[in-house]
């Protein structure tokens, strides 16, 4: 059974056992019911109970104040396999504990970012850095010294995003990725031409185009989602192999590929003795998202 089907089956069981919801939700695209989807009016239950009240206060405060931290929920947010909801559940505890240096260090240590010792200035979901290019990063961290971390989160998706080789994307490529972001200074030239390599690996290349001396890019996905991580579309390389072989040397150290199972296991071990509330949260997170 493919990973996306296994996780949907797991989440259907979670919906009944943990959320006590028997009714299936509807997929808007085809109007069909599926057991891994919540009835739409139960969308708030896609946030774990350990942070649910605090998260929705945070969400509605920023929504009604229409500030830069306002979050737009994805149309399929009520799907239990929503990667947006998973990202909220994974990182909202860091927002709740923004001022705690010990918790910050535990988050950064596993990301191999221990050298980033500056305090946290800003944390955001769905961050847009360039409104002309308009990439939404799933999570964003800015430190007091100006360094930034940009997170791309995948869950049950079958691949990283592709694009079309049409006129509008060609104009965007010429104006932004090539001229403004200078992707040729980051990755090998075979990925910087407007052709099949760029088309098939668009989302990864787009994210890497934001790399600079003060910016890191972090990819997080399940190790078990082998269809996602198996190959780097056009040349049978894993994402890690691509980074090592095709990203220019000075930028390799600014990219992380982190597996969800390992990250959450590390949090559980680190928080067990010192932060029992976080320990409980990530135990529940594991029960929902990790088979």
Q: Per-residue pLDDT tens for 120-166? A: 899 999 999 988 888 899 999 999 999 999 999 999 998 887 888 88
**Least reliable range by pLDDT among 46-60, 171-185, 209-223:** 171-185
Q: What is the mean pLDDT of residues 244-272?
A: 93
User: Residue 219: which pLDDT band, with cuts at 50, 70 and 90?
Assistant: very high
Binning pLDDT at 50, 70 and 90, where does residue 217 land?
very high
pLDDT for 269 equals 96
* Buried-exposed string 255-290: b where 16+ CB fall within 10 A, e elsewhere: bbebbbeebbebbbebbeeebeebbbbbebbbebbe
Q: What is the pTM of this model?
A: 0.93
CB under 8 Å to 30, separation ≥6 — which residues?
none
233 has a pLDDT exceeding 60 = no
Rounded Cα distance between 177 and 201, Å, is 13
Mean pLDDT of 180-194: 81
What's the pLDDT at 232?
A: 56
Q: What is the pLDDT of residue 281?
A: 98
pLDDT at 188: 83
Average pLDDT over residues 14-40: 97
- Please report the pLDDT score of residue 193 as a whole number: 81
What does the pLDDT read at residue 97?
Answer: 93
Token readout for 288 is: 């929902």
The strands making up 120-128's β-sheet, listed across from edge to edge, are 120-128, 136-143, 148-153, 215-221, 255-259
Look over the chain and give the mean of its residue pLDDT values, rounded to a whole number.
90
Q: Is the pLDDT of residue 181 over 80?
A: no
Map out the domains of the chain as residue ranges.
3-157+215-289
Give the model's pLDDT for residue 36. 98
What local confidence, expressed as pLDDT, does residue 156 receive? 95
| CA distance from start to end of the chain | 13
Give mean pLDDT, residues 38-53: 98
- The pLDDT of residue 197 is 80
Query: How would DSSP label each residue in the chain?
Result: --HHHHHHHHHHHHHHHTS---SPEEETTTTEEETTB--GGGGGGGS-TTTHHHHHHHHHHHHHHT-TT-----TTTTBTT-HHHHHHHHHHHHHHTTT-HHHHHHHHHHTT-TT--SPEEEEEEEEES-TTT--EEEEEEEETTS-EEEEEE-SS-SS------SHHHHHHIIIIIIIIS-GGGTB-GGGSSSSHHHHHTHHHHHHHTT-BTTEEEEEEE-TT-HHHHS-BTTTTB-HHHHHHHHB-HHHHTTEEEEEHHHHHHHHHHHHHHH-HHHHHHHHHHHHHH--
Q: What is the pLDDT of residue 190?
A: 78
């Amino acid at each position: 059974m493919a990973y996306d089907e296994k996780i949907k089956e797991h989440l259907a069981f979670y919906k009944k056992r943990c959320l006590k919801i028997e009714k299936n939700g509807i997929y808007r695209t085809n109007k069909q019911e599926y057991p891994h989807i919540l009835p739409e009016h139960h969308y708030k239950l896609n946030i774990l109970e350990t942070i649910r009240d605090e998260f929705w206060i945070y969400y509605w405060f920023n929504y009604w104040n229409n500030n830069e931290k306002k979050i737009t929920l994805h149309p399929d947010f009520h799907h239990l396999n929503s990667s947006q909801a998973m990202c909220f559940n994974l990182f909202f505890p860091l927002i709740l504990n923004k001022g705690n240096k010990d918790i910050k260090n535990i988050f950064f240590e596993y990301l191999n970012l221990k050298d980033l010792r500056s305090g946290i200035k800003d944390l955001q979901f769905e961050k847009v850095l360039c409104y002309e290019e308009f990439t939404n990063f799933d999570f964003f961290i800015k430190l007091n010294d100006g360094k930034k971390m940009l997170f791309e989160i995948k869950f049950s998706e079958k691949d990283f995003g592709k694009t079309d080789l049409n006129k509008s994307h060609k104009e965007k490529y010429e104006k932004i990725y090539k001229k403004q972001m200078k992707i040729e200074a980051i990755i090998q030239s075979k990925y910087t031409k407007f052709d099949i390599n760029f088309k098939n690996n668009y989302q990864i290349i787009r994210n890497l185009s934001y790399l600079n001396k003060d910016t890191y890019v972090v990819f997080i996905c399940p190790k078990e989602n082998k269809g996602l991580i198996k190959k780097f579309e056009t040349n049978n390389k894993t994402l890690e192999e691509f980074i090592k072989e095709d990203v220019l040397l000075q930028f390799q150290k600014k990219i992380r590929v982190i597996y969800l199972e390992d990250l959450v296991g590390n949090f559980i071990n680190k928080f067990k003795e010192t932060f029992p509330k976080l320990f409980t949260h990530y135990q529940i997170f594991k029960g929902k998202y990790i088979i």
